Chains A and B, each alone.
Chain A
Amino acid sequence: MFDDHEIMSTIEMVKNENLDVRAVTLGINLFDCVSHDLGVFKKNIREKIISHAADLVHVCDAVGDKYGICVVNKRISISPIALVAAPFSSDQMVEIAHELNDIAKEVNIDFIGGFSALVEKGMAKGDKALIAALPRALAETQRVCASVNVATTKAGINMDAVLEMARAIKLAAALTSDTDGLACAKLCVFANIPEDMPFMAGAYLGVGVADAVINVGVSGPGVIKRAIERNLKDQKPNLGEIAEIIKRIACKVTRVGELIGREVAQNLGIQFGVVDLSLAPTPTVGDSIGEIFQALGLTHIGVPGSTAALAMLNDAVKKGGAFASSHVGGLSGAFIPVSEDLNIAEAAHKGYLTMEKLEAMTCVCSVGLDMVPIPGDITEECLAGIIADEMAIGMINAKTTACRLIPVPGKKAGDKVYFGGLLGEARIMKVAHLDLKDAFVTFGGQIPAPIHSLKN
């Protein structure tokens, strides 16, 4: 038996506060598809992915319909291609990307992630081939997502890989200059990449994970914002009490994700993995992280106080999620992607949010510099420097950080870019000193892993 409030608040969350299941991501292990023959490898991965994923979209829609909650995106993550396709050349890697793109279309999913390499301590043959293939693979396909982990807290930062990735990003942007460098929106550079993340572009299936697994990404910035606003209207809670409100709502949202995820997994006969409760915005009013900052009394995200607000928000979301489910994983926190959030894009355009402040905020958010359009004439060295800085934040703080930077060809700070759909639109952010060619990033080698005692 439910009382009126319980029924109406549940309906409100879905109807007016944009609560949805952002992504159900089916992870598929491809290690048993390995072959030295490209034709055989392509045939093997096609058979394996389709055998597991043929019913994914149908089952997600049916479960979503049963609970009256939309499963917005159905996706697939796979074992890192740099490992399972290690014998192949970069041209052959591009062919594999095309095959994955075709498979994604066949099973009607919007993205397949795992065109990935793990190179935090050095690059093997397959890793080099994959990184060399990235620009073409991403420019010539629509649904393939790529990620490269270049740093971990235990290994340090592979600075050769950082520079390689800066080059790959510049080249990928150049190959898609007609779409504002769209290829770069499908490419993340990571420190401490999680093995079970359902969100793109960084999703891949970890090496130590089961043969097939369902991971669920739940969002809900609108629900959090409305909860804060409701409570501020009725009373005057202090920040400790607001954190409690966020935690409770995050708990409820996580439970919805687990309910949906477990049922999808059961109906597909596949193991359930994790719920990733990440506040992921869309370019829709009322579905924004930036609006939460305004609900908390800040003029815009990026003004003084923003890092503290984000720290509180991120932590409260993690605590609520951890209370709700024993299987919370992925990133679980708050994303601050610039172009994907109308409100954040506006804050950047108006000058409240700068690159420097954004970087500072990534010390306490769940990911990093995400969907940031920057001027296309940034040097490789400067781009590599930004990536290295972001990786250092992740490495030292034992957290995930990532860069999804789009150096938009032919455009300068303040120019408008449009990526479309969930990727959104924004003005290009100003990057200071973008013409520098400092030698630091060209020295290469490994920045050693940090000491784990003497913490200050």
Chain B
Amino acid sequence: MTKLIITVLGKDRPGIISHISTILYERDCNLENVNQMILQNQFAGFFFVEAPSDLSLDQLQQIFIEKTVDTGLTVHVNRLEGNCHATDDFLPEIFLITTIGPDQKGLVARFSSIIATFKANIVNLKAVFKGGSDPTANVMSYQVEILPGVDAQAMFQALRDKALELNLDIRIQHKNIFDAINKI
């Protein structure tokens, strides 16, 4: 048994999940985990599967190439390496870092590089820049995992300084307050 990850990219339309999962089913692959998202009109999906031992990575890749040739989808098959489950030894603290303000070139690059410098991991990023004065139309929101050893206060200060320099409103709040308010 081999663990594989199938990445599917392409213009969204009805039937993508069905198409991919049917191919996997026909090859006796067991789906363990699926996630997908749609950004504007583009589909991205991740399929974690356990493949039978007589099916190689290359064979599966070839099957997908043949079966998706006219669909406009790009499919990559890779071996899944490392432990895919987070260990419970260190439960990370998750903070939401949200900036509100007009689009400027390089915003995501500038903020994410600060987060990377402090070795904190971005587990989710949403950025919307539609222009105009509606604050909800120009928002970046990072969910950042902070493990012991990360100097969170220094990182928050660096992010606040950067936001001030770029004239953006920044909010840094622990995830639990969003849970308390929204997840009842």
Q: How far is the CA of A120 from the CA of B29 in the complex (A)?
A: 77
User: Does A6 count as interface, using CB distance less than 8 angstroms?
Assistant: yes
The CA-CA distance from A10 to B126 in the complex, in Å, is 16
- CB–CB B171/A68 < 8 A: yes
Give the docked Cα–Cα distance between A6 and B169 (Å): 18
The residues of A that contact B176 with a CB separation of less than 8 Å are: 67, 259
Verify A10–B184 contact, CB threshold 8 A: no
Whether the pair B178, A7 counts as a contact (CB closer than 8 A) is: yes
Shortest beta-carbon distance from B116 to chain A in Å: 22
A7 to B172, CA, bound (A): 11
Give the distance to chain A from B19, nearest Cβ to Cβ, in Å.
Answer: 26
The yes or no answer to B124 lying at the interface (CB within 8 A) is yes
* B181, CB-defined interface residue at 8 Å: yes
**8 Å CB interface, B128-182 against A:** 128, 135-136, 139, 141, 143, 169, 171-174, 176-178, 180-182
Inter-subunit contact A15/B171 (CB<8 Å): yes
Q: Which residues of A contact B49 (CB under 8 A)?
A: none
Are the CB atoms of B139 and A66 closer together than 8 Å? no
Please provide the chain A residues from 357 to 406 with a CB less than 8 Å away from any CB of chain B in the complex. Answer: none
Q: Select one of B124, B143, B173 contacting A67, CB under 8 A.
A: B173
Partner of A8, one of B139, B172, B177: B139
CA–CA, A39 and B153, complex, Å: 44
Q: Indicate whether B96 reaches chain A with its CB closer than 8 angstroms.
A: yes
A55 to chain B: closest CB distance in Å?
18
Given contacts A4-B126, A4-B128, A68-B173, whether A11 and B98 have CB atoms under 8 Å apart is yes
Known: A2-B96, A11-B171, A15-B171. A252 touches B181 (CB 8 A): yes
Q: How far is the CA of A259 from the CA of B128 in the complex (A)?
A: 30
Complex: A66 Cα to B177 Cα, angstroms = 9
Of the candidates B139, B141, B178, B181, the one having the most CB atoms from chain A within 10 angstroms of its own CB is: B181
Q: Which residue of B lies closest to A11 (CB)?
A: B171
Question: What residues on B are CB-neighbors of A174 within 8 Å?
Answer: none
Known: A15-B171, A67-B173. A6 touches B182 (CB 8 A): yes
Give the Cβ gap from B103 to chain A, nearest Cβ, in Å.
Answer: 16
In whole angstroms, how far apart are the Cα atoms of A256 and B177 in the complex?
7
Residues of B within 8 A of A6 (CB): 178, 181-182
Q: Is A1 an interface residue (CB 8 A)?
A: yes
Partner of A68, one of B100, B128, B177, B182: B177
A 189-206 binary contact with B (CB < 8 Å = 1; else 0): 000000000000000000
B177 touches A10 (CB 8 A): yes
- B181 close to A7 (CB less than 8 A): no
A256 contact set on B, CB distance < 8 A: 177, 180-181
Q: CB of A251 within 8 A of chain B?
A: yes
Residues of A in contact with B, size category: 20 to 34
State whether A255 and B181 are in contact (beta carbons under 8 Å apart), knowing that A15-B171, A67-B174 are contacts in the complex: yes
Q: How many A-B residue pairs have CB under 8 A?
A: 66
Partner of B180, one of A9, A11, A255: A255
- Give chain A nearest CB distance to B93 CB in angstroms: 9
Give chain B's interface secondary structure class. Answer: strand
**Does A107 sit within 8 A of B, measured CB to CB?**
no
List, in ascending order, chain A residues with CB within 8 A of B100's CB.
Answer: 11
Q: Which residue of B lies closest to A16 (CB)?
A: B135
The answer to whether B184 and A8 have CB atoms under 8 Å apart is no
**B51-66 toward A: CB 8 Å interface, digit per residue (1/0)?**
0000000000000000
Contacts of A56 in B (CB 8 A): none
Asked whether B174 lies within 8 Å of A255 as measured between CB atoms, the reply is: no
- What B residues does A14 contact at CB under 8 A? 171
Known: A2-B96, A7-B141. A259 touches B180 (CB 8 A): yes
Residues in A neighbouring B181, C-beta threshold 8 A: 6, 9-10, 13, 252, 255-256
Complex contacts, B128 vs chain A, CB 8 Å:
4
A230 to chain B, nearest CB (A): 13
Instruction: Give A304 to B176 CA distance when docked, in angstroms.
Output: 42
Task: Give bound CA distance, A6 to B174, whole Å.
Answer: 14
Q: What are the residues of chain B within 8 A of A258 when measuring CB–CB?
A: 180
Q: Tell whether A441 is near chain B: CB-to-CB under 8 Å.
A: no
Q: Given that A11-B171, A15-B171 are known contacts, is A2 also in contact with B136, CB under 8 Å in the complex?
A: no
**Which residues does chain B contribute within 8 Å of A259, judged by CB atoms?**
176-177, 180
Is the C-beta of A76 less than 8 angstroms from some C-beta in chain B? no
Q: How far is the CB of B157 from chain A (nearest CB, A)?
A: 11
In the docked arrangement, what's the CA distance between A252 and B177, Å?
Answer: 10
Residue A94 CB within 8 A of the other chain: no
Q: Does A292 contact B (CB under 8 A)?
A: no
Q: How far is the CA of A251 from the CA of B177 in the complex (A)?
A: 13
CB–CB B177/A69 < 8 A: yes
Q: Which chain A residue shows the least CB distance to B176? A: A259
For the complex of A and B, 3 pairs with smallest distance between CB atoms = A68-B173, A255-B180, A6-B182
Instruction: Give 11 pairs: A residue, B residue, CB < 8 Å, sorted on A.
Output: A4-B141, A7-B96, A8-B139, A11-B98, A67-B173, A67-B176, A68-B173, A255-B184, A256-B177, A256-B180, A256-B181
Given contacts A1-B124, A6-B178, A8-B136, 11 further A-B contacts (CB under 8 A): A2-B96, A2-B141, A2-B182, A4-B126, A7-B139, A9-B182, A11-B98, A66-B174, A252-B181, A255-B181, A259-B180
